[in-house]
Structure 1
Protein backbone atom coordinates (compact mmCIF):
# COMPACT_ATOMS: atom_id res chain seq x y z
CA UNK A 1 0.00 0.00 0.00
CA UNK A 2 1.73 3.26 -1.10
CA UNK A 3 1.84 6.24 1.28
CA UNK A 4 -0.87 8.91 1.05
CA UNK A 5 -0.63 12.69 0.78
CA UNK A 6 -3.37 15.21 1.58
CA UNK A 7 -4.45 17.63 -1.12
CA UNK A 8 -5.12 20.76 0.88
CA UNK A 9 -7.09 22.38 -1.92
CA UNK A 10 -9.95 20.07 -0.93
CA UNK A 11 -9.14 18.76 2.55
CA UNK A 12 -9.28 20.69 5.83
CA UNK A 13 -10.64 23.76 4.01
CA UNK A 14 -12.28 25.12 7.17
CA UNK A 15 -8.77 26.13 8.22
CA UNK A 16 -6.28 28.64 6.82
CA UNK A 17 -3.57 27.28 4.52
CA UNK A 18 -1.02 27.14 7.35
CA UNK A 19 -3.50 25.47 9.72
CA UNK A 20 -4.35 22.89 7.04
CA UNK A 21 -0.75 21.69 7.10
CA UNK A 22 -0.92 21.22 10.86
CA UNK A 23 -4.29 19.44 10.61
CA UNK A 24 -3.00 17.10 7.91
CA UNK A 25 0.03 16.21 10.02
CA UNK A 26 -2.17 15.58 13.06
CA UNK A 27 -4.33 13.25 10.94
CA UNK A 28 -1.31 11.16 10.00
CA UNK A 29 -0.36 12.53 6.58
CA UNK A 30 3.36 12.87 6.03
CA UNK A 31 3.04 14.78 2.75
CA UNK A 32 0.68 17.42 1.36
CA UNK A 33 -0.20 19.09 -1.93
CA UNK A 34 -1.76 22.48 -2.63
CA UNK A 35 -3.40 23.99 -5.68
CA UNK A 36 -2.51 27.69 -5.47
CA UNK A 37 -0.79 28.62 -2.18
CA UNK A 38 0.82 31.78 -3.52
CA UNK A 39 -0.97 34.19 -1.16
CA UNK A 40 1.02 32.73 1.74
CA UNK A 41 4.59 34.09 1.92
CA UNK A 42 7.02 31.33 0.99
CA UNK A 43 9.01 31.68 4.21
CA UNK A 44 5.86 31.16 6.30
CA UNK A 45 4.86 28.15 4.24
CA UNK A 46 8.28 26.53 4.49
CA UNK A 47 8.36 27.13 8.24
CA UNK A 48 4.94 25.52 8.69
CA UNK A 49 6.00 22.49 6.67
CA UNK A 50 9.16 22.15 8.74
CA UNK A 51 7.30 22.45 12.05
CA UNK A 52 4.78 19.82 11.01
CA UNK A 53 7.46 17.58 9.47
CA UNK A 54 5.56 17.05 6.24
CA UNK A 55 6.77 17.23 2.64
CA UNK A 56 5.16 19.52 0.06
CA UNK A 57 4.78 17.39 -3.05
CA UNK A 58 3.45 19.92 -5.51
CA UNK A 59 1.44 22.95 -6.55
CA UNK A 60 -0.34 24.14 -9.69
CA UNK A 61 0.66 26.88 -12.07
CA UNK A 62 -1.60 29.95 -11.84
CA UNK A 63 -4.72 29.54 -14.00
CA UNK A 64 -4.43 32.87 -15.81
CA UNK A 65 -7.45 35.19 -15.81
CA UNK A 66 -9.97 33.22 -13.78
CA UNK A 67 -12.60 35.92 -14.15
CA UNK A 68 -12.44 35.45 -17.92
CA UNK A 69 -12.76 31.68 -17.59
CA UNK A 70 -9.10 30.65 -17.81
CA UNK A 71 -8.15 27.31 -16.29
CA UNK A 72 -4.49 27.15 -17.21
CA UNK A 73 -2.29 28.67 -19.90
CA UNK A 74 0.19 26.06 -21.12
CA UNK A 75 -1.73 25.02 -24.25
CA UNK A 76 -3.06 28.44 -25.24
CA UNK A 77 -1.43 29.74 -28.46
CA UNK A 78 -0.55 33.41 -28.32
CA UNK A 79 -0.27 33.52 -24.55
CA UNK A 80 3.23 32.15 -24.20
CA UNK A 81 4.44 35.24 -22.37
CA UNK A 82 1.77 34.82 -19.71
CA UNK A 83 2.67 31.17 -19.33
CA UNK A 84 6.36 31.97 -18.95
CA UNK A 85 5.49 34.33 -16.11
CA UNK A 86 3.18 31.75 -14.51
CA UNK A 87 5.69 28.91 -14.62
CA UNK A 88 8.42 31.21 -13.36
CA UNK A 89 6.25 32.12 -10.39
CA UNK A 90 5.36 28.49 -9.71
CA UNK A 91 8.91 27.17 -9.88
CA UNK A 92 10.31 30.02 -7.80
CA UNK A 93 7.69 29.64 -5.09
CA UNK A 94 7.81 25.85 -5.21
CA UNK A 95 11.58 25.80 -4.87
CA UNK A 96 11.43 28.22 -1.96
CA UNK A 97 9.02 26.00 0.00
CA UNK A 98 10.73 22.73 -0.91
CA UNK A 99 8.05 21.41 -3.28
CA UNK A 100 9.10 18.51 -5.46
CA UNK A 101 6.82 19.11 -8.47
CA UNK A 102 4.76 21.67 -10.33
CA UNK A 103 1.60 20.83 -12.26
CA UNK A 104 1.40 22.74 -15.55
CA UNK A 105 -2.27 23.32 -16.33
CA UNK A 106 -3.01 23.12 -20.05
CA UNK A 107 -6.14 25.26 -20.14
CA UNK A 108 -9.39 25.24 -22.12
CA UNK A 109 -9.16 24.88 -25.89
CA UNK A 110 -11.82 24.65 -28.60
CA UNK A 111 -11.62 21.52 -30.80
CA UNK A 112 -10.71 23.46 -33.96
CA UNK A 113 -7.61 24.86 -32.21
CA UNK A 114 -6.32 21.46 -31.00
CA UNK A 115 -3.31 21.25 -33.36
CA UNK A 116 -2.05 24.73 -32.51
CA UNK A 117 -2.72 24.05 -28.82
CA UNK A 118 -0.61 20.90 -28.91
CA UNK A 119 2.31 22.73 -30.47
CA UNK A 120 2.06 25.47 -27.85
CA UNK A 121 1.80 22.93 -25.06
CA UNK A 122 4.90 21.04 -26.18
CA UNK A 123 6.96 24.23 -26.50
CA UNK A 124 5.78 25.58 -23.15
CA UNK A 125 6.47 22.28 -21.40
CA UNK A 126 10.05 22.30 -22.69
CA UNK A 127 10.48 25.72 -21.14
CA UNK A 128 8.84 24.55 -17.91
CA UNK A 129 10.97 21.42 -17.73
CA UNK A 130 14.18 23.37 -18.19
CA UNK A 131 13.18 25.83 -15.45
CA UNK A 132 12.16 23.00 -13.15
CA UNK A 133 15.42 21.14 -13.73
CA UNK A 134 17.35 24.10 -12.34
CA UNK A 135 15.21 23.89 -9.20
CA UNK A 136 15.41 20.11 -8.91
CA UNK A 137 11.67 19.75 -9.57
CA UNK A 138 9.44 17.56 -11.73
CA UNK A 139 6.81 18.92 -14.14
CA UNK A 140 3.46 17.13 -13.99
CA UNK A 141 0.67 17.20 -16.57
CA UNK A 142 -2.79 15.95 -15.62
CA UNK A 143 -5.58 14.75 -17.91
CA UNK A 144 -8.84 16.24 -16.60
CA UNK A 145 -12.28 14.92 -17.50
CA UNK A 146 -14.68 16.84 -19.74
CA UNK A 147 -17.68 16.32 -17.51
CA UNK A 148 -16.21 18.48 -14.75
CA UNK A 149 -14.15 20.75 -17.00
CA UNK A 150 -15.53 20.87 -20.56
CA UNK A 151 -12.92 21.82 -23.14
CA UNK A 152 -9.86 21.05 -21.03
CA UNK A 153 -7.13 20.38 -23.58
CA UNK A 154 -5.38 17.48 -21.86
CA UNK A 155 -7.99 14.81 -21.20
CA UNK A 156 -6.60 11.29 -21.78
CA UNK A 157 -3.60 9.33 -20.53
CA UNK A 158 -2.49 8.39 -24.04
CA UNK A 159 -2.59 12.05 -25.10
CA UNK A 160 -0.39 12.92 -22.12
CA UNK A 161 2.07 10.16 -23.03
CA UNK A 162 2.29 11.46 -26.60
CA UNK A 163 2.88 15.01 -25.40
CA UNK A 164 5.67 13.86 -23.08
CA UNK A 165 7.31 11.96 -25.92
CA UNK A 166 7.31 15.13 -28.03
CA UNK A 167 8.65 17.28 -25.19
CA UNK A 168 11.65 15.02 -24.76
CA UNK A 169 12.51 15.96 -21.19
CA UNK A 170 13.08 13.35 -18.49
CA UNK A 171 11.48 15.43 -15.73
CA UNK A 172 8.02 15.70 -17.34
CA UNK A 173 5.61 13.11 -15.95
CA UNK A 174 1.91 12.25 -15.83
CA UNK A 175 -0.23 13.09 -12.82
CA UNK A 176 -2.52 10.05 -13.04
CA UNK A 177 -5.77 11.13 -11.39
CA UNK A 178 -7.87 7.98 -11.13
CA UNK A 179 -11.08 9.98 -10.75
CA UNK A 180 -10.62 11.89 -14.01
CA UNK A 181 -9.31 8.86 -15.90
CA UNK A 182 -12.16 6.60 -14.79
CA UNK A 183 -14.70 9.13 -16.06
CA UNK A 184 -12.97 9.69 -19.39
CA UNK A 185 -11.56 6.24 -20.14
CA UNK A 186 -11.73 3.59 -17.40
CA UNK A 187 -9.48 0.53 -17.57
CA UNK A 188 -7.35 1.99 -14.79
CA UNK A 189 -5.07 -0.90 -13.90
CA UNK A 190 -4.09 -1.52 -17.51
CA UNK A 191 -3.32 2.16 -18.05
CA UNK A 192 -1.31 2.31 -14.84
CA UNK A 193 0.71 -0.68 -15.99
CA UNK A 194 1.18 0.54 -19.57
CA UNK A 195 2.36 4.01 -18.52
CA UNK A 196 4.04 3.32 -15.18
CA UNK A 197 7.40 4.71 -16.30
CA UNK A 198 5.76 8.04 -17.14
CA UNK A 199 3.70 8.39 -13.97
CA UNK A 200 5.03 10.92 -11.48
CA UNK A 201 2.07 11.05 -9.11
CA UNK A 202 -1.28 9.33 -8.55
CA UNK A 203 -4.45 10.89 -7.13
CA UNK A 204 -7.69 9.32 -5.92
CA UNK A 205 -11.32 10.21 -5.24
CA UNK A 206 -14.59 8.31 -5.41
CA UNK A 207 -16.42 8.09 -8.72
CA UNK A 208 -18.93 9.54 -9.40
CA UNK A 209 -19.20 11.60 -6.19
CA UNK A 210 -15.55 12.76 -5.87
CA UNK A 211 -15.93 12.12 -2.14
CA UNK A 212 -13.82 9.89 0.11
CA UNK A 213 -12.25 6.96 -1.77
CA UNK A 214 -14.14 4.38 0.32
CA UNK A 215 -17.30 4.60 -1.82
CA UNK A 216 -18.29 4.48 -5.46
CA UNK A 217 -17.36 2.37 -8.46
CA UNK A 218 -13.57 2.15 -8.01
CA UNK A 219 -12.04 -0.40 -5.63
CA UNK A 220 -9.08 1.66 -4.49
CA UNK A 221 -7.67 -1.07 -2.27
CA UNK A 222 -7.27 -3.09 -5.45
CA UNK A 223 -5.73 -0.09 -7.25
CA UNK A 224 -3.25 0.41 -4.41
CA UNK A 225 -2.29 -3.25 -4.33
CA UNK A 226 -1.85 -3.17 -8.09
CA UNK A 227 0.49 -0.18 -7.77
CA UNK A 228 2.48 -2.10 -5.17
CA UNK A 229 2.72 -5.05 -7.52
CA UNK A 230 3.88 -2.81 -10.35
CA UNK A 231 6.63 -1.34 -8.18
CA UNK A 232 5.22 2.20 -8.01
CA UNK A 233 7.42 4.11 -5.60
CA UNK A 234 5.54 7.40 -5.30
CA UNK A 235 2.74 8.88 -3.24
CA UNK A 236 -1.02 8.67 -3.70
CA UNK A 237 -2.73 12.03 -3.33
CA UNK A 238 -6.08 12.18 -1.55
CA UNK A 239 -7.73 14.80 -3.74
CA UNK A 240 -11.39 14.45 -2.90
CA UNK A 241 -14.27 16.56 -1.62
CA UNK A 242 -15.17 15.35 1.88
CA UNK A 243 -18.75 14.37 2.65
CA UNK A 244 -18.51 16.49 5.82
CA UNK A 245 -15.64 17.43 8.11
CA UNK A 246 -12.39 16.04 6.73
CA UNK A 247 -11.50 14.37 10.04
CA UNK A 248 -14.83 12.53 10.17
CA UNK A 249 -14.17 10.82 6.84
CA UNK A 250 -10.64 9.54 7.42
CA UNK A 251 -11.55 6.00 8.42
CA UNK A 252 -10.23 4.81 5.06
CA UNK A 253 -6.78 6.28 5.85
CA UNK A 254 -6.54 4.53 9.20
CA UNK A 255 -7.60 1.18 7.74
CA UNK A 256 -5.39 1.35 4.66
CA UNK A 257 -2.40 2.63 6.61
CA UNK A 258 -2.80 -0.29 9.00
CA UNK A 259 -2.80 -2.64 6.01
CA UNK A 260 0.38 -1.00 4.71
CA UNK A 261 2.06 -1.43 8.11
CA UNK A 262 0.97 -5.07 8.33
CA UNK A 263 2.25 -5.78 4.84
CA UNK A 264 5.59 -4.13 5.61
CA UNK A 265 5.93 -6.15 8.82
CA UNK A 266 5.12 -9.35 6.99
CA UNK A 267 7.67 -8.63 4.29
CA UNK A 268 10.43 -8.05 6.84
CA UNK A 269 9.61 -11.10 8.98
Structure 2
Protein backbone atom coordinates (compact mmCIF):
# COMPACT_ATOMS: atom_id res chain seq x y z
CA UNK A 1 0.00 0.00 0.00
CA UNK A 2 1.49 3.38 -1.00
CA UNK A 3 1.77 6.45 1.22
CA UNK A 4 -1.25 8.18 -0.35
CA UNK A 5 -3.43 5.18 0.39
CA UNK A 6 -2.14 5.04 3.97
CA UNK A 7 -2.88 8.71 4.44
CA UNK A 8 -6.39 8.40 3.05
CA UNK A 9 -7.05 5.41 5.26
CA UNK A 10 -5.90 7.33 8.34
CA UNK A 11 -8.24 10.21 7.58
CA UNK A 12 -11.17 7.85 6.95
CA UNK A 13 -10.45 6.14 10.27
CA UNK A 14 -10.47 9.55 11.94
CA UNK A 15 -13.83 10.32 10.38
CA UNK A 16 -15.28 7.02 11.53
CA UNK A 17 -14.59 8.09 15.11
CA UNK A 18 -16.04 11.58 14.72
CA UNK A 19 -19.57 10.96 13.50
CA UNK A 20 -20.95 14.16 14.97
CA UNK A 21 -18.52 16.27 13.00
CA UNK A 22 -19.13 14.29 9.82
CA UNK A 23 -22.85 14.83 10.24
CA UNK A 24 -22.30 18.60 10.31
CA UNK A 25 -20.42 18.44 7.01
CA UNK A 26 -17.08 19.51 8.50
CA UNK A 27 -14.98 16.82 6.84
CA UNK A 28 -17.33 15.46 4.20
CA UNK A 29 -14.73 15.96 1.49
CA UNK A 30 -12.70 13.07 2.90
CA UNK A 31 -15.58 10.63 2.57
CA UNK A 32 -16.38 11.46 -1.03
CA UNK A 33 -15.82 8.86 -3.78
CA UNK A 34 -14.02 11.67 -5.62
CA UNK A 35 -10.99 11.06 -3.39
CA UNK A 36 -8.18 11.06 -5.96
CA UNK A 37 -4.45 11.50 -6.41
CA UNK A 38 -4.74 15.13 -7.49
CA UNK A 39 -6.21 16.12 -4.13
CA UNK A 40 -3.06 14.81 -2.43
CA UNK A 41 -0.52 15.99 -5.00
CA UNK A 42 2.68 17.33 -3.39
CA UNK A 43 2.79 21.06 -2.88
CA UNK A 44 5.45 23.16 -4.57
CA UNK A 45 7.07 24.09 -1.26
CA UNK A 46 7.52 27.80 -1.94
CA UNK A 47 5.11 28.66 0.89
CA UNK A 48 5.08 27.07 4.34
CA UNK A 49 1.43 26.65 5.31
CA UNK A 50 -0.21 26.81 8.74
CA UNK A 51 -3.75 27.15 10.07
CA UNK A 52 -5.50 28.86 12.99
CA UNK A 53 -7.58 26.51 15.19
CA UNK A 54 -10.22 29.07 16.18
CA UNK A 55 -11.58 28.97 12.63
CA UNK A 56 -12.36 25.24 13.00
CA UNK A 57 -13.73 25.05 16.54
CA UNK A 58 -15.83 21.99 15.65
CA UNK A 59 -12.62 19.98 15.43
CA UNK A 60 -10.42 18.98 18.33
CA UNK A 61 -6.78 19.97 17.98
CA UNK A 62 -5.93 16.31 17.31
CA UNK A 63 -8.45 16.20 14.47
CA UNK A 64 -7.29 19.51 13.02
CA UNK A 65 -3.68 18.26 13.03
CA UNK A 66 -4.66 15.05 11.23
CA UNK A 67 -6.72 16.77 8.58
CA UNK A 68 -4.29 19.65 8.07
CA UNK A 69 -1.28 17.40 7.72
CA UNK A 70 -3.08 15.39 5.04
CA UNK A 71 -3.45 18.46 2.81
CA UNK A 72 0.08 19.78 3.15
CA UNK A 73 -0.19 22.09 6.15
CA UNK A 74 2.92 21.96 8.33
CA UNK A 75 1.96 24.07 11.34
CA UNK A 76 -0.83 25.21 13.63
CA UNK A 77 -0.85 28.85 14.73
CA UNK A 78 -1.82 30.42 18.04
CA UNK A 79 -0.96 27.48 20.25
CA UNK A 80 0.58 27.64 23.72
CA UNK A 81 2.30 25.20 26.09
CA UNK A 82 -0.84 23.11 26.75
CA UNK A 83 -1.24 22.56 22.99
CA UNK A 84 2.35 21.86 22.02
CA UNK A 85 2.37 18.16 23.07
CA UNK A 86 -0.55 17.55 20.70
CA UNK A 87 1.24 19.29 17.83
CA UNK A 88 4.43 17.38 18.55
CA UNK A 89 2.55 14.08 18.60
CA UNK A 90 1.40 14.75 15.04
CA UNK A 91 4.71 16.15 13.81
CA UNK A 92 3.21 19.64 13.42
CA UNK A 93 5.08 22.88 14.08
CA UNK A 94 3.94 25.90 16.15
CA UNK A 95 4.92 28.83 13.88
CA UNK A 96 3.15 31.53 15.92
CA UNK A 97 2.99 30.75 19.64
CA UNK A 98 0.69 32.47 22.09
CA UNK A 99 -0.19 32.41 25.77
CA UNK A 100 1.81 35.34 27.23
CA UNK A 101 -0.53 38.13 26.09
CA UNK A 102 -3.32 39.47 28.32
CA UNK A 103 -5.77 40.05 25.46
CA UNK A 104 -5.97 42.14 22.29
CA UNK A 105 -6.88 45.40 24.03
CA UNK A 106 -4.52 45.46 27.03
CA UNK A 107 -1.11 45.55 25.43
CA UNK A 108 2.34 47.13 25.44
CA UNK A 109 1.03 50.54 24.35
CA UNK A 110 -0.29 51.19 27.86
CA UNK A 111 2.12 51.32 30.80
CA UNK A 112 -0.46 50.04 33.28
CA UNK A 113 -0.10 46.57 31.73
CA UNK A 114 3.69 46.44 31.52
CA UNK A 115 4.30 44.65 34.82
CA UNK A 116 1.88 41.82 33.99
CA UNK A 117 3.10 41.52 30.42
CA UNK A 118 6.76 41.49 31.39
CA UNK A 119 6.11 38.75 33.94
CA UNK A 120 4.13 36.69 31.41
CA UNK A 121 6.65 37.04 28.59
CA UNK A 122 9.64 36.48 30.86
CA UNK A 123 8.16 33.11 31.76
CA UNK A 124 7.03 32.22 28.24
CA UNK A 125 10.08 33.13 26.16
CA UNK A 126 12.31 30.34 27.57
CA UNK A 127 9.46 27.82 27.10
CA UNK A 128 9.17 28.76 23.43
CA UNK A 129 12.87 28.10 22.91
CA UNK A 130 12.82 24.90 24.98
CA UNK A 131 10.13 23.44 22.73
CA UNK A 132 11.97 24.33 19.54
CA UNK A 133 9.84 27.26 18.41
CA UNK A 134 10.67 30.83 17.42
CA UNK A 135 7.74 33.26 17.09
CA UNK A 136 5.68 34.55 20.03
CA UNK A 137 2.74 36.89 19.44
CA UNK A 138 2.23 40.23 21.17
CA UNK A 139 -0.12 43.20 20.82
CA UNK A 140 -0.03 46.98 21.09
CA UNK A 141 -3.46 47.01 22.68
CA UNK A 142 -5.97 49.85 22.40
CA UNK A 143 -4.99 53.44 21.76
CA UNK A 144 -7.10 54.87 24.63
CA UNK A 145 -6.54 58.42 23.40
CA UNK A 146 -2.76 58.13 23.10
CA UNK A 147 -0.93 59.76 20.21
CA UNK A 148 1.21 57.67 17.88
CA UNK A 149 4.31 58.99 19.60
CA UNK A 150 3.07 58.05 23.08
CA UNK A 151 2.12 54.61 21.85
CA UNK A 152 5.53 54.04 20.28
CA UNK A 153 7.34 55.19 23.41
CA UNK A 154 5.22 53.01 25.69
CA UNK A 155 5.64 49.94 23.49
CA UNK A 156 9.37 50.51 23.23
CA UNK A 157 9.69 50.87 27.00
CA UNK A 158 7.69 47.74 27.69
CA UNK A 159 9.21 45.58 24.98
CA UNK A 160 12.93 46.39 25.05
CA UNK A 161 13.76 44.35 28.19
CA UNK A 162 11.83 41.42 26.75
CA UNK A 163 13.50 41.72 23.37
CA UNK A 164 16.86 41.42 25.13
CA UNK A 165 15.62 38.19 26.73
CA UNK A 166 14.24 37.03 23.38
CA UNK A 167 17.64 37.60 21.77
CA UNK A 168 19.21 35.36 24.41
CA UNK A 169 16.69 32.60 23.71
CA UNK A 170 16.51 33.05 19.92
CA UNK A 171 12.81 33.96 20.09
CA UNK A 172 11.10 36.61 17.94
CA UNK A 173 8.35 38.73 19.48
CA UNK A 174 5.77 39.41 16.77
CA UNK A 175 3.29 42.26 17.08
CA UNK A 176 0.13 41.65 15.10
CA UNK A 177 -1.23 44.30 12.75
CA UNK A 178 -5.02 44.49 13.24
CA UNK A 179 -7.64 46.74 11.68
CA UNK A 180 -9.25 49.38 13.90
CA UNK A 181 -11.98 50.16 11.39
CA UNK A 182 -14.22 47.07 11.64
CA UNK A 183 -13.01 44.32 13.97
CA UNK A 184 -10.78 45.86 16.63
CA UNK A 185 -11.92 49.41 17.31
CA UNK A 186 -9.21 51.65 18.81
CA UNK A 187 -6.36 49.12 18.29
CA UNK A 188 -3.16 51.16 17.92
CA UNK A 189 -0.87 49.02 15.75
CA UNK A 190 -3.33 49.23 12.88
CA UNK A 191 -1.07 50.27 9.99
CA UNK A 192 2.05 48.76 8.49
CA UNK A 193 3.98 52.01 8.89
CA UNK A 194 3.09 52.21 12.60
CA UNK A 195 4.44 48.73 13.22
CA UNK A 196 7.54 49.34 11.11
CA UNK A 197 8.34 52.54 12.99
CA UNK A 198 8.16 50.61 16.27
CA UNK A 199 10.41 47.89 14.83
CA UNK A 200 12.94 50.53 13.75
CA UNK A 201 12.98 52.02 17.24
CA UNK A 202 13.46 48.65 18.91
CA UNK A 203 16.10 47.80 16.30
CA UNK A 204 16.37 44.06 16.81
CA UNK A 205 15.92 41.01 14.59
CA UNK A 206 14.00 39.58 17.54
CA UNK A 207 11.09 41.96 17.14
CA UNK A 208 9.01 41.75 13.97
CA UNK A 209 5.43 42.02 12.72
CA UNK A 210 2.64 39.57 12.10
CA UNK A 211 1.19 40.92 8.84
CA UNK A 212 -2.48 40.00 8.70
CA UNK A 213 -3.45 40.48 5.07
CA UNK A 214 -7.16 40.70 5.83
CA UNK A 215 -6.69 43.45 8.41
CA UNK A 216 -4.26 45.48 6.33
CA UNK A 217 -6.44 45.30 3.22
CA UNK A 218 -9.25 46.86 5.27
CA UNK A 219 -7.01 49.59 6.71
CA UNK A 220 -4.90 50.63 3.75
CA UNK A 221 -4.80 48.11 0.89
CA UNK A 222 -1.64 48.29 -1.24
CA UNK A 223 -0.77 44.83 0.06
CA UNK A 224 1.92 43.82 -2.44
CA UNK A 225 3.78 47.14 -2.27
CA UNK A 226 3.79 46.97 1.51
CA UNK A 227 5.12 43.41 1.41
CA UNK A 228 7.85 44.47 -1.01
CA UNK A 229 8.79 47.56 1.00
CA UNK A 230 8.62 46.13 4.51
CA UNK A 231 9.23 42.39 4.23
CA UNK A 232 12.39 42.60 6.37
CA UNK A 233 10.16 43.51 9.34
CA UNK A 234 7.63 40.70 8.80
CA UNK A 235 7.93 37.28 10.47
CA UNK A 236 4.53 35.76 9.70
CA UNK A 237 1.40 36.26 7.57
CA UNK A 238 -2.30 35.55 8.09
CA UNK A 239 -4.92 35.30 5.36
CA UNK A 240 -8.63 36.10 5.18
CA UNK A 241 -11.12 37.02 2.48
CA UNK A 242 -12.29 40.62 2.27
CA UNK A 243 -14.95 41.54 3.30
CA UNK A 244 -16.08 39.14 6.02
CA UNK A 245 -12.91 37.12 6.68
CA UNK A 246 -14.28 34.14 4.75
CA UNK A 247 -12.81 32.04 1.93
CA UNK A 248 -9.88 33.53 0.00
CA UNK A 249 -11.26 32.46 -3.39
CA UNK A 250 -12.93 34.58 -6.11
CA UNK A 251 -15.84 35.49 -3.83
CA UNK A 252 -13.69 38.26 -2.29
CA UNK A 253 -11.65 41.20 -3.52
CA UNK A 254 -8.00 40.12 -3.25
CA UNK A 255 -6.18 37.91 -5.75
CA UNK A 256 -4.25 35.75 -3.33
CA UNK A 257 -1.99 33.97 -5.87
CA UNK A 258 -0.39 37.33 -6.70
CA UNK A 259 0.01 38.13 -3.01
CA UNK A 260 1.66 34.76 -2.39
CA UNK A 261 4.00 35.22 -5.35
CA UNK A 262 5.04 38.57 -3.91
CA UNK A 263 5.73 36.95 -0.52
CA UNK A 264 7.76 34.15 -2.10
CA UNK A 265 9.71 36.61 -4.25
CA UNK A 266 11.06 38.35 -1.14
CA UNK A 267 12.75 35.12 -0.06
CA UNK A 268 10.42 34.76 2.91
CA UNK A 269 10.98 31.43 4.70
CA UNK A 270 8.40 31.77 7.46
CA UNK A 271 4.78 30.64 7.48
CA UNK A 272 1.55 31.84 5.92
CA UNK A 273 -1.31 31.00 8.27
CA UNK A 274 -4.81 30.40 6.91
CA UNK A 275 -7.04 32.40 9.25
CA UNK A 276 -10.29 32.71 7.36
CA UNK A 277 -13.66 31.57 8.72
CA UNK A 278 -15.24 29.23 6.15
CA UNK A 279 -18.84 29.95 5.24
CA UNK A 280 -19.17 26.92 2.97
CA UNK A 281 -20.65 23.76 4.46
CA UNK A 282 -17.53 21.77 3.59
CA UNK A 283 -15.11 23.77 5.71
CA UNK A 284 -12.17 21.45 5.20
CA UNK A 285 -12.80 21.55 1.47
CA UNK A 286 -12.47 25.34 1.72
CA UNK A 287 -9.22 24.95 3.66
CA UNK A 288 -7.83 22.57 1.04
CA UNK A 289 -8.79 24.99 -1.72
CA UNK A 290 -7.07 27.84 0.13
CA UNK A 291 -3.85 25.85 0.30
CA UNK A 292 -4.06 25.20 -3.43
CA UNK A 293 -4.68 28.90 -4.10
CA UNK A 294 -1.58 29.80 -2.08
CA UNK A 295 0.59 27.06 -3.59
CA UNK A 296 2.52 29.26 -6.02
Is this a same-fold pair by TM over 0.5?
Answer: yes
The 5 Å alignment of 1:60-139 reads: 60-64=98-102, 71-112=105-146, 114-139=148-173
Separation (CA, whole Å) in 2 of partners of 1:17 and 1:221: 28
Matched, 1:6 2:51: yes
Match of 1:267 in 2: none
Match of 1:235 in 2: 271
* TM norm structure 1: 0.83
Separation (CA, whole Å) in 2 of partners of 1:106 and 1:99: 22
- Structure 1 residue 128: deviation in Å? 2.3
Separation (CA, whole Å) in 2 of partners of 1:219 and 1:8: 24
SS in 1 for 2:97: strand
- Structure 1 residue 254: deviation in Å? 5.2
- Structure 1 residue 155: deviation in Å? 0.7
Question: Could you give the per-residue CA deviations for residues 102-132 of structure 1, whole angstroms, max 9, x where no partner exists?
Answer: 0111111223454433212012221221222
- Structure 1 residue 240: deviation in Å? 1.3
Query: Which one of the candidate residues 227, 230, 245 is aligned to 1:195?
Result: 230
Match of 1:174 in 2: 209
Matched, 1:56 2:94: yes
- Structure 1 residue 159: deviation in Å? 0.7
Separation (CA, whole Å) in 1 of partners of 2:50 and 2:267: 18
Matched, 1:34 2:68: no
**1:115/1:207 CA distance change after superposition, 3 Å:** same
Contact in 2 for aligned 1:144/1:155 (Cα 8 Å): yes
Separation (CA, whole Å) in 1 of partners of 2:106 and 2:63: 27
Question: Could you give the per-residue CA deviations for residues 171-209 of structure 1, whole angstroms, max 9, x where no partner exists?
Answer: 111111111110000011111111011111111110111
Separation (CA, whole Å) in 2 of partners of 1:46 and 1:127: 26
Name structure 1 gaps, 5 residues minimum. Answer: 261-269
- Structure 1 residue 16: deviation in Å? 3.0
**How many residues are treated as equivalent by the alignment?**
248
* TM norm structure 2: 0.76
For the pair shown, the structure with the greater C-alpha radius of gyration is 2
Query: Which one of the candidate residues 219, 234, 250 is aligned to 2:287?
Result: 250
RMSD: 2.2
Separation (CA, whole Å) in 2 of partners of 1:54 and 1:136: 20
